[in-house]
């Protein structure tokens, strides 16, 4: 099996909420972009346990790009105890808080992707305010509370270069399917006229910067 097939296979088995067809679409769009613009700077907001980082990382490695995988690693509102996506095995017994960083590190290390995927551990808005590099690719899959998703879009989308890609996950036109915040920022991206639709797969939307 090829290196890419191995990585996509690992990604399919990794812990997380990225359906396979959407993960493969993430990989394909990132790969196409990376083939056009190699050695790009890519960033995902929302790392969790590294599943989407494997799909994007496979494309990053193949195109000599670098993926920053950002998370404070304490989970979103919807991951906390009592909520729908709570996983007790991810609680750190030392302080009772969720901590996905050890799992994320193991995921990236076992895939041998450490040269292509680098973790940024901290709050999205704080890191964004000190992050000056233009982005060839931005994947927004962080917190789905409205203020959090809006802050991610406001802080990171302006850093995407012309012809760069903006990917947004969990875009459900009907809020009952998974919250309305990603849909709202997707609409805001289109309304800004800075981005236009390129493709979609399930709840994944792919937009490109430029008229």
Is there binding between residue 119 and ligand SAH (CB under 6 A)? no
What token pair was written down for 4? 């890419």
Residue 170's binding partner among ligand SAH, Mg ion, none (Cβ under 5 to 8 angstroms by kind) is Mg ion
Closest CA to 64 of 41, 43, 39: 39
Q: How many residues does the chain have?
A: 211
Calculate the alpha carbon distances from 198 to 96, 159, 201, 205, 206 in Å. Answer: 42, 19, 11, 8, 5
Q: Is 103 in the site for ligand SAH (CB under 6 A)?
A: no
How far is residue 65's CA from residue 43's CA, in Å, rounded to a whole number?
10
User: 203 is in the binding site of which of Mg ion, ligand SAH, none (Cβ under 5 to 8 A by kind)?
Assistant: none
29 belongs to the binding site for ligand SAH (CB under 6 A): no
Site for ligand SAH in 172-201 (CB under 6 A): none
Pick between residue 48 and residue 183 the one whose CB is nearest to ligand SAH: 48
- Write phi, then psi, for 174 (nearest 5 degrees): -100, 115
Six-digit token string for 45: 């907001």
Sheet (strand 66-71) strand order: 117-121, 66-71, 41-45, 135-140, 160-168, 204-209, 195-201
One of 141, 157, 164, 195 touching ligand SAH (CB under 6 A): 141
We find the least distance from the C-beta atom of residue 62 to ligand SAH, in angstroms, to be 19
40 lies in the binding site for ligand SAH (CB under 6 A): no
To ligand SAH, the closest distance from the beta carbon of 119 in angstroms equals 11
Strands (E), the chain: 41-45, 66-71, 117-121, 135-140, 160-168, 195-201, 204-209
Task: Out of 12, 80, 105, 123, point to the residue binding ligand SAH (CB under 6 A).
Answer: 123
Closest to ligand SAH by CB, 32 vs 80, is 80
Which positions from 55 through 94 interact with ligand SAH, judged by CB under 6 A? Answer: 70-76
Among 8, 33, 42, 46, binds ligand SAH (CB under 6 A): 46
Catalytic residue chosen out of the listed positions 29, 144, 169, 196: 144
Told to judge if 144 belongs to the known catalytic residues of this protein, a careful annotator would answer yes
């Amino acid at each position: 099996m090829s290196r890419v097939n191995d990585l996509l296979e690992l990604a399919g088995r990794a812990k997380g909420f990225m359906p396979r067809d959407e993960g493969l679409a993430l990989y394909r769009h990132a790969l196409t972009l990376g083939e056009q613009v190699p050695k790009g700077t890519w960033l995902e907001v929302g790392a969790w346990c590294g599943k989407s980082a494997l799909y994007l990382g496979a494309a990053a490695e193949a195109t000599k790009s670098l993926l920053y995988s950002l998370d404070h690693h304490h989970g979103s509102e919807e991951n906390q105890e009592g909520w729908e996506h709570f996983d007790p095995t991810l609680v750190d017994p030392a302080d009772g808080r969720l901590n996905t960083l050890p799992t994320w590190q193991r995921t990236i290390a076992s895939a041998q992707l450490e040269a292509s995927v680098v973790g940024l551990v901290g709050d999205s808005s704080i890191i964004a305010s000190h992050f000056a590099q233009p982005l060839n690719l931005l994947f927004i899959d962080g917190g789905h509370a409205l203020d959090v998703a809006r802050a991610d879009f406001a802080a990171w989308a302006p850093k995407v270069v012309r012809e760069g890609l903006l990917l947004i996950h969990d875009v459900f036109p009907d809020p009952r399917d998974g919250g309305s915040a990603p849909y709202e920022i997707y609409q805001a991206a289109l309304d800004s006229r800075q981005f236009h639709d390129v493709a979609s797969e399930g709840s994944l939307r792919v937009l490109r910067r430029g008229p």
